Amino acid sequence: MSSTWVPNVSAESPFSLANIPFGIITTSTDPAPHAASAIGSHVLDLKVLAGHAKFTEIFPGLVGKEHVFSQPNLNAFADLGRGVHRDVRSAIQHLLSAETTSPEVLRDNDELRQKALLPQRSVKMHLPMRIGDYTDFYAGYHHAYAVGVMFRGPQHALQPNYTHLPVGYHGRASSIVVSGTPIRRPNGQILLDPTAEVKQPITGPSRRVDIELELGCIIAKPNCMGSPIKVTDAEDHIFGYVLLNDWSARDIQTWEYVPLGPFNSKNFATTISPWVVLADALEQFRTKAIENKTPLQDYLKDSREDTVFDIELEVDIRTPEGDTTTISQTSSKNLMWSFPQMIAHHSLGGCPMNTGDLLGSGTISGPVPRESGSLLELSKGGKEDIMLYGMDVRRFLKDGDIITIRGSCGKPGERVGFGECIGRIETALPL
C-alpha cells in the first residue's frame, strides 16, 4: 500500500489509506447530512467531491447515481452492491495516494481541496445508516460459557442448541445511536432480593448497567421474502462493519428474561461507531473462528475456514473524576459463529434482510478474565470489584462514567480501524 499526500496521517491512525471507511457528516457550510470518508485526522466530503467535472470519469460505477453521496444515510450506496463499494474505495485510494495519476482533481486543486478535505474535529458525525431492523446474536463463545457457568454451573453452561445454531434475538432499532450520544440510565422492574421465597419486584433505576463489547455487521443487498441466503453467498450481502456497545441492565434482565428473553433490559440503547469499515478493507485480517466440534447442518457449512476477523479490541472506562482505565483487551476472532452463518440462519425460514439492517455479534470475550467484554464477567456477576486507576472500583457503571470502545488491525502506516464508540451514562429520570 502506497503512502498518502494528505498531511499529518499518523502511522497509528486507524484511518490509513488501507482503510477508507464511509460515514455521514454535517459541516459548518452544509447542515444537511451527507456522505464522507476518513483519512488520518481528516474527512473527505464526498458530496463536495461529487460536484467535480471528472467525478463520473473517476467513479464510473456511479454514473447516474451521483446522488448517493448527498443522501442523509449510506443506504442507497450500500444497496449498489459490494462490487461498486470495492471500486469506489479503490478510486478514493487512488485519489489520495502520493502516487496518484490524477493530481489535478484534488491534490493540486487548492479550491476543491479546501472545501472537500476537512479536519475531523470540524464536522459532526451522524448515524451512518437508516437501520430498519436489528438482530443481536450470541456468537461469542467465551462470554456465553462464562455467563453460563455463573448461572448454571460448568456442566450446563451452554444450552444444548448453542453449538448447533447461531442463537439470536430481535433487538430494537429505534434506540440505536451514534457514538457520543449520552445514555440515560433505564428504569425498570427489578428484584432487590432475588433469593427471597416470594418474588416481589420494585420499579426504579437499574443498579447494574453494563456494557457488551460487540462487532456489528450491516446488510447491503437485500433478499426477497421467502428466499433464504446461502452461507456461501452471504458475503455478497454485507456492506461493512462497525463497533457496537449493546448497553444492558443486568438486574432488569434477570427478572424479565424468562421465558421470552431480554426486553427493557436491552432496548434502552445500543451505540455504534460512526464509520462503516467496508468488508473488503478487512479481507486481509481473516482468521479461523473458535472450533466447533458439533457436526453442522448443511446450510451452515461454509466453504472456507477463515470466516472471522482478527481485530484488536479494547474498552476504556473514564470516571467522572477524569481517570481512565483500560478494562479489557481482546480480539474479534473469539467468535464461534461467523456473520455469513448468522445471515444464513437468520434468513433460513425466508426472512427478508433489508439494506441497512444491523446484526450484532454478541459479546466478544477472550479465554482469560482480562479479555472479558462485559462488566458482568469482569466482576464475577457483581461479586468482585474491578480495580480502576486511582484506587477507584466498579462492579457496574455509575452515573457519569464514559465507556470508549476501540478496534483496529494491521501494521503501523496501514492500520484499518473504526475510530471510537463512546457513551456516557446519565442519571435516570425520576418516575
C-alpha dihedral sign at 339, 340, 346, 352? positive
Cβ-Cβ contacts under 8 Å for 160 (sequence gap 6 or more): none
DSSP character at residue 416: E
CA–CA separation, 170 and 82 (whole Å): 26
Residue whose C-alpha cell is 426486553: 263
CB 264 within 8 A of CB 188: yes
Task: Give catalytic residues, as residue numbers.
Answer: 143
Tell me whether strands 416-426 and 183-184 are parallel, antiparallel or unpaired.
parallel
* Residue from 403, 381, 399, 431 nearest 254 by CA: 381
CA–CA separation, 202 and 121 (whole Å): 44
Give the rounded distance of the alpha carbon of 141 from its chain centre: 18
Which residue type sits at 320? P
C-alpha dihedral sign at 404, 126, 5, 93? positive
* Residue from 343, 326, 299, 321 nearest 403 by CA: 326
E runs forming strands in 288-342: 308-309, 312-318, 324-331
Which residue type sits at 140? G
Partners of 272 in the β-ladder = 178, 244
Half-sphere exposure of 78 (CA within 13 A, CB side): 33
Residue environment code for 113-152, b if the CB has 16+ CB neighbours within 10 A, otherwise e? bebbbbebeebebbbbbbbebbbbbbbbbbbbbbbbbeee
CB 156 within 8 A of CB 150: no
44 backbone dihedrals φ, ψ, rounded to 5° = -105, 115
The C-alpha cell of 190 is what? 427489578
